[in-house]
Amino acid sequence: MRKRIIIFAGVILCLTVMAIGYHLYNMPRTTAAEMSADKLVSAKELFDAYTKDEQAADVQYGNKVLEITGAVLDVQKNGKDISVLLSGGGNGGGVNCTMVGDVPAPRKGSLIHVKGRCTGFLMDVSIIDATIVNK
């Protein structure tokens, strides 16, 4: 009798853990569109800060929700995903914004406002969970 109770409790515990895991896995991601921006910055200012001193810029901007203004250099579509490169100045780099949801692709050369989470610097400054903000 005691063995059955232990097995039954173990099965219930396993099912509970699986249900919680399933719920967390399928929970929708929180996008930056639903959050307020920590800082407002231009794409050039953000790119220059990272190229000048990456560690100091990461302290100031890293993992924060930013509202960025810049001119669109390039737009790339990969299935549903849209990646927009904002101009960071004359030296070829910029701010790469990965858009979420059904966002219309902006035109090259247009000036846009983007809100997203800054994840750091590789060749460009990376912004994830981005959305276009209407001003």
Mind listing the domains of the chain with CATH numbers? 32-133 (2.40.50.140)
Please write the tens of the pLDDT for every residue from 76-124.
888 778 888 888 776 678 899 988 777 788 888 899 999 999 999 988 8
Confidence at 132, pLDDT banded by 50, 70, 90:
confident
What's the CA gap between 3 and 42, in Å, rounded? 66
